[in-house]
Structure 1
Amino acid sequence: MMRVLFADKPENWPRYEAALNAAFVQAGLNAEIFQPGEVAPDSIDYIVYSPQGPVQDFTPFTRAKAVLNLWAGVERVVGNATLTQPLCRMVDAGLERGMVEYVTGHVLRYHLGLDATLAQQDGVWRHDGGVPPLARNRSVVVLGLGALGAACAQALVALGFDVTGWSRTQKEIAGVTCLSGADGFNQALGRAEILVSILPDTPETTDLLNAQTLALLPKGAAIINPGRGTLIDDDALLAALDAGQIGHATLDVFRIEPLPAAHPFWAHPRVTVTPHIAAESRAETASEVVAENIRRGEAGEPLLYLVDRARGY
């Protein structure tokens, strides 16, 4: 019988126990799941992993065939020198749908000017004939066209928005103007009335949105960041907000989480803070991805969502 280690926080085990076992049965796997300390590390075949779990040294897991991350992001594990096993990131239907719903909800909020509307519930009828443009006349830019970014871009296209996507390597997505490279990045920012960032955390993306690049956006642009907190230079964003260069920012991820109570984002009138809720792994759908990758590993088939160590994602 195969041995699988559940290396997440112990309090998450009740959410995953039934889901993993059901997914293993559905995939035809003869596997038993253990938590750290219950069996010898060198008897484990696969590690179901979370960076917030107890396993940080992979050296004892000499038999493990793969480490299956429960998070979409792998920046907290990809550089671990003890990790010699193949590493797979999490791409599951529940996580993807959560990201799509978060992004489309906040894009529509900005597009329709709902913040201003809700702030005027004071008994005064304000109808001067002005209405929001149609979605086809609103330019939305998505930075990052991996599985999550591409899904968000496609959902925005379906709503009628003029969507541009940017990625490090050139992509082709129906209905999306896809750009790449340094020139493409500057071009994308120049048309971003609403900017959505779903980029990974890599050395190349750290502080990608800084004083110089924020200045390239149309004045008053809105930013939505459910990707990685390191993408944005916090001080530069605050300065751009104060100057009116950026109209509003909705931020779901931060350099330090939970976001410290004294951080200026909390009190800024043009910042919306959400507590890293855009794309949570759902136990049921994540377990299905884990089971499929174990099935593939046992069958000698290519693993899904294998991480490129050189790129960091």
Structure 2
Amino acid sequence: MDILLSGSFDDAERDAWRAELQDALPEARWHLTATPENAGLITAAVVANPLPGSLQGLPNLRLIQSLWAGVDRLLNDPTLPDVPVARMVDPAMSAAMAETALWATLSLHRRFYAYAQQQHAREWQQLPQRRADEIQVTLLGTGQMGRACAMRLLALGYRMTGWNLRGGTLEGLPLEHGMDALWPLLARSDIVINLLPLTAQTSELLDQRFFNALRPGAGLVNLARGGHLVEADLLRALASAQVSHAVLDVFRNEPLPSDHPFWSHPQVTVLPHVAAATDMRSAARIVVQNLRALRDAQPLSDLVERSRGY
């Protein structure tokens, strides 16, 4: 089995991925580039935001396996071959995302960001403290990561509601769907956590209309994609105190430019896209399960529906 490893890696990261994957599937031949000599042999590509056009010219390609959970950049490549695409669904990554969501929610609920500012100002002031069951947390996106976050937060007693575009059910979590349901839900939300996939329907969802619909003083946690957020609209919402604090892990331009106002804004906490880093050890095992399924003509896991964008 010949497999192409392609992505926006630096050399050290690429070599680490190759070593991990080769250990997990030693019987395969791993290629770092497609050449005229090997292009006809390659049957699968394991990718992490590969350069547009880099998967062309592989006549026997049968699977594109992403190392990342998000596939929006991959699907936006007009030259992407018409073969199945699988995204990364890793319980280890979901657990890490749930930890970040839990930390951000607790910090917003218990005013820890405000206390950090008070420490900087050497100000001693005890702020009002609410119970978890008095805090309405709205979770946008109820996929694997969203579900992991919901279970952690429900266990601490938060009042939670999930929202997505298409509906469905999630045990233990009230769920609403569709744009008409979003606006009244925001009006009763104290904290909103965004874990939606980035699609044409969700791009720039976090805009002025969204912020105006929120309960005044709500907190925002964006752990999904920078393309969901209209940054200028968030700055206006922070200035008016419609949003009290924003925890942002993802940005339209990464790394975040050094002159960006988010860096120094007292009501913004910036993370460098670390809410749920891919764990090479667990991810390699998941990739290999799909590669062996492909080899053995078995069903593939976590395939992307291109029409949905995820």
Q: Which bin holds the TM-score, normalised by the shorter protein?
A: over 0.9
Instruction: State percent identity of aligned pairs.
Output: 34
Structure 2 unaligned regions, length at least 5: none
Greater alpha carbon shift after TM alignment, 14-23 vs 174-183: 14-23
Matching residue of 1:218: 215
Equivalences for residues 22-33 of structure 1 within 5 A: 22-24=23-25, 30-33=27-30
Matching residue of 2:111: 113
1:109 is displaced (CA, Å) by 0.8
Matching residue of 1:279: 276
Q: Which letter maps to 1:291?
A: V
Matching residue of 1:21: 22
Matching residue of 1:265: 262
Matching residue of 1:11: 12
1:86 is displaced (CA, Å) by 0.9
Matching residue of 2:307: 310
Matching residue of 1:58: 55
Confirm or deny: 8 A CA contact 1:36 1:54 kept in the other structure: no
Q: Which letter maps to 2:142?
A: L
Tell me how far apart the structure 1 counterparts of residues 204 and 34 of structure 2 sit (CA, whole Å).
40
SS in structure 2 at match of 1:96:
helix
Matching residue of 2:101: 103
Q: Which letter maps to 1:217?
A: L
Tell me how far apart the structure 2 counterparts of residues 262 and 67 of structure 1 sit (CA, whole Å).
37
Q: Which letter maps to 2:6?
A: A
Deviation readout 1:161-196 (Å, 9 max, x if unpaired): 111110111121222110001222113212220110
Tell me how far apart the structure 1 counterparts of residues 298 and 177 of structure 2 sit (CA, whole Å).
31
1:259 is displaced (CA, Å) by 1.2
Q: Which letter maps to 2:93?
A: L
Residues 272 and 235 of structure 1, relative CA distance in 2, 3 Å threshold: same
SS in structure 2 at match of 1:265:
coil
1:24 is displaced (CA, Å) by 2.1
Tell me how far apart the structure 1 counterparts of residues 184 and 299 of structure 2 sit (CA, whole Å).
37
1:40 is displaced (CA, Å) by 1.7
Tell me how far apart the structure 1 counterparts of residues 296 and 240 of structure 2 sit (CA, whole Å).
58
SS in structure 2 at match of 1:196:
strand
> With CA pairs under 8 Å and 6+ residues apart, which has the higher RCO, 1 or 2?
1
Match for 1:148 among 140, 145, 149? 145
Q: Which letter maps to 1:134?
A: R
Q: Which letter maps to 1:97?
A: A
SS in structure 1 at match of 2:213:
coil
Structure 1 unaligned regions, length at least 5: none
Equivalences for residues 127-142 of structure 1 within 5 A: 127=126, 131-142=128-139
Greater alpha carbon shift after TM alignment, 34-43 vs 63-72: 34-43
1:255 is displaced (CA, Å) by 0.9
1:57 is displaced (CA, Å) by 3.2
SS in structure 2 at match of 1:48:
strand
1:37 is displaced (CA, Å) by 4.8
Deviation readout 1:33-91 (Å, 9 max, x if unpaired): 2211575222112110111x457332211111101011111111113233212111111
Match for 2:250 among 228, 233, 253? 253
SS in structure 2 at match of 1:306:
coil
SS in structure 2 at match of 1:119:
helix
Tell me how far apart the structure 2 counterparts of residues 299 and 37 of structure 1 sit (CA, whole Å).
24
1:159 is displaced (CA, Å) by 1.6
SS in structure 1 at match of 2:263:
helix
Matching residue of 1:76: 73
Confirm or deny: 8 A CA contact 1:136 1:162 kept in the other structure: yes
Q: Which letter maps to 1:72?
A: A
Equivalences for residues 208-247 of structure 1 within 5 A: 208-247=205-244
1:247 is displaced (CA, Å) by 0.3
* TM-score normalised by L of structure 2: 0.92
* TM-score normalised by L of structure 1: 0.91
Confirm or deny: 8 A CA contact 1:296 1:303 kept in the other structure: yes
Q: Which letter maps to 1:40?
A: N
Equivalences for residues 159-198 of structure 1 within 5 A: 159-198=156-195
Residues 213 and 124 of structure 1, relative CA distance in 2, 3 Å threshold: closer
Tell me how far apart the structure 1 counterparts of residues 154 and 132 of structure 2 sit (CA, whole Å).
9
Confirm or deny: 8 A CA contact 1:46 1:68 kept in the other structure: yes
Deviation readout 1:212-233 (Å, 9 max, x if unpaired): 1211111100000010111111
Confirm or deny: 8 A CA contact 2:52 2:77 kept in the other structure: no
Greater alpha carbon shift after TM alignment, 33-42 vs 80-89: 33-42
Residues 253 and 125 of structure 1, relative CA distance in 2, 3 Å threshold: closer
**Cα RMSD for the two superposed structures:** 1.9
1:205 is displaced (CA, Å) by 0.8
Tell me how far apart the structure 2 counterparts of residues 124 and 16 of structure 1 sit (CA, whole Å).
48
